């Protein structure tokens, strides 16, 4: 899925999510690709690849999954709404690249509304950069 993401990091070129392992209950395992410009002396374009686990579930079924944080769902509903299914995933590991944790890092959570093949959502860093529980930014994935 091509996408856009806003956050307090340098401008990024792209993100994508692949979900090759899906289960009947809506849970999945996949990869999050984070492509960005290093904005250093070499101005390189790099891609970090993270493993993720998550779920796609209707909002009235979120209680079935312990990894879904109701406070983060409330943030999502306030910013995006809930006209579609909930997409939630967490970065669980680093496949390639670095975990500098300037924002996206292992443990970061993504919450989005999936509707008509697109996702609009918010993300939460595990870097401790916002102690009040607010999201660090928004993201959009389109098919």
Domains in the chain: ranges and CATH: 3-142 (2.40.128)
Cα–Cα dist 125/110, whole Å: 9
Q: Which of 26-30, 42-46, 137-141 has the highest mean pLDDT?
A: 26-30
Mean pLDDT of 102-107: 70
Q: What contacts 111, CB < 8 A, 6 or more positions away?
A: 72, 73, 75, 76, 86, 87, 88, 121, 122, 123, 124
Cβ pair 121, 139 in contact under 8 A:
yes
Q: Return the higher-pLDDT residue of 143 and 77.
A: 77
Region 71-97: what's the mean pLDDT? Answer: 90
The three-class DSSP label of residue 123 is strand
Q: What is the pLDDT of residue 127?
A: 64
Q: How far is CA 22 from CA 26, 56, 58, in A?
A: 7, 10, 16
Q: What is the mean pLDDT of residues 84-97?
A: 89
Average pLDDT of span 40-53: 82
User: Which pLDDT score, from 0 to 100, does residue 12 have?
Assistant: 46
Q: What is the mean pLDDT of residues 77-101?
A: 85
Average pLDDT of the chain is 79
């Amino acid at each position: 899925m091509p996408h856009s993401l806003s956050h307090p990091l340098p401008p990024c070129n792209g993100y994508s999510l692949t979900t090759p392992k899906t289960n009947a209950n809506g849970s999945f395992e996949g990869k999050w690709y984070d492509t960005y410009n290093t904005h250093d002396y070499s101005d390189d374009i790099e891609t970090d690849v993270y493993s993720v686990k998550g779920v796609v579930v209707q909002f009235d079924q979120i209680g079935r999954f312990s990894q879904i944080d109701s406070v983060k769902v409330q943030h999502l509903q306030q910013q995006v709404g809930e006209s579609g299914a909930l997409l939630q995933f967490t970065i669980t590991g680093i496949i390639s690249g670095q975990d500098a944790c300037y924002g996206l890092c292992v443990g970061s959570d993504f919450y989005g509304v999936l509707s008509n093949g697109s996702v609009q959502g918010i993300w939460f860093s595990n870097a401790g950069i916002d102690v009040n529980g607010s999201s660090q930014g928004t993201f959009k994935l389109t098919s």
